[in-house]
Amino acid sequence: MTDPCVKKLAEILVNHSTKVKKGDKVVISGSSIAEPLIREVYKLCIKKGAIATVKVGVPGLNYIFFKEAKEHQLNHYPKITELEAKESDVFISIGGKANTRELSNVDHKKIAVRSKVTDPISKIVLKKRWVGVDYPTNALAQDAGMSLEEYEDFLFGATNQDPKKMIKKLRKVSQLLDKTKKVRIVGKDTDITFSVKGMKSKYEYAIYNVPDGEVFTAPEKYSVEGHIKFTYPAIRAGNEVEGIRLEFEKGKIVKATAEKNEKFLKAMLDMDKGSKYLGEFGIGMNDKVTKFTKNLLFDEKIGGTIHLAIGMAYPENIKNNKKNGNDSALHWDIVKDFRREGGEIWFDNKLVQKSGKWMIKI
């Protein structure tokens, strides 16, 4: 018998997030560890009359590729995958990591090269209906400092919420942000400003990510000024970068330091022309996500936090002048927690949040 929590999450992914309908060509991808959720999502898609394809990954294959791949393999462009992306309507990605540090010791440059090669396919997918979710595993539970049972309760508690109730709260902040020209973030070793004039914030609940619960927009590319010290480590390809501090001038990162894995941070910032600029400003608003778990899908949604993404700006955030939005193969979110460190968010000349608590009614 399928766990009711798994069934509920599958219903959110299929019925709410991607709105699968008869005739849709759906690609369901995930780790073999996430088999219960993959099976339930597949069942719902078939019942709706969709044409569903399942792509199941085996733990350890990414390590083998990045450890052994030669230059021609890293630079190979997968045309078949591109064709699949163009011909499909819906993408449901279900993560389930057996080892979150699998790629910690592989060549950082290989990861950057491969990201650039496959970036055009990622951009095709982003224009379709897509959603990403994680399935509870022992590896994720260990990173979060929980037992598997505790992590399951945490994960399903954060994901299986009523979308209508969450959207009402998010809409209030989004509407205010859309009226704002300038954002200022002040906190511990942090004073940064940027323009959001001409940008469009987004707030849909459980459309692209599950769990969800954030309002996000794109800073104008060249408007970012100041510095910020992040609370939590940023994790990418199994590399944990701690104590990140960034300084900006005319939108560009002119100085980047880290207390751990600084070399990896700088390798990512050198990925392409856009990787030293910001692509996203997000405000976490999911009150069911209260603990940092080293899983970005959850951590960027923590109520009382903000996050900035280095690299690509989402097209849906660029309302008017596309030249003011950033393009990159990189999109890497880093979180600052105002609940722990104190801090303020200002929309133009109005203080809207202090120490993680809203100063406006939402």
Question: For residue 134, what pLDDT is reported?
Answer: 93
Cα–Cα dist 204/155, whole Å: 19
The full set of domains in the chain, from first to last, is 4-159 (3.40.1830.10), 163-358 (no CATH)
Q: Which residue has the higher pLDDT, 324 or 178?
A: 178
Quick: pLDDT tens for 241-273.
Answer: 999 999 999 999 999 999 999 999 999 999 999
Residues near 223 by beta carbon (within 8 Å), at least 6 away in sequence: 193, 194, 195, 251, 324
Question: For residue 163, what pLDDT is reported?
Answer: 78
Per DSSP (E only), the strands in the chain are: 25-31, 51-57, 90-95, 129-134, 182-187, 190-195, 209-210, 214-217, 225-229, 234-236, 239-241, 245-249, 252-257, 278-284, 305-311, 331-337, 343-347, 350-354, 357-358
| Range of lowest pLDDT (247-251, 297-301, 331-335) | 297-301
Question: For residue 204, what pLDDT is reported?
Answer: 72
At 208, the pLDDT band (50, 70, 90 cuts) reads confident
Residue 335, strand partner residues:
307
Q: Percentage of residues in the chain with pLDDT exceeding 70?
A: 98
Give me the chain's average pLDDT, please. 93
Q: Give residue 241's Cα distance to chain centre.
A: 16
Q: Which residue has the higher pLDDT, 104 or 27?
A: 27
CA distances from 313 to 152, 161, 184, 282 (A): 32, 27, 19, 12
Question: For residue 198, what pLDDT is reported?
Answer: 87
What is the 8-class DSSP label of residue 15?
I
Task: Dihedral sign for Cα 315, 319, 320, 324, please.
Answer: negative
Quick: pLDDT tens for 78-108.
Answer: 999 999 999 999 999 999 889 988 988 889 8
Question: For residue 321, what pLDDT is reported?
Answer: 54
Question: Average pLDDT for residues 348-358, to the nearest whole number?
Answer: 95
C-beta of residue 217 within 8 angstroms of C-beta of residue 172 = no
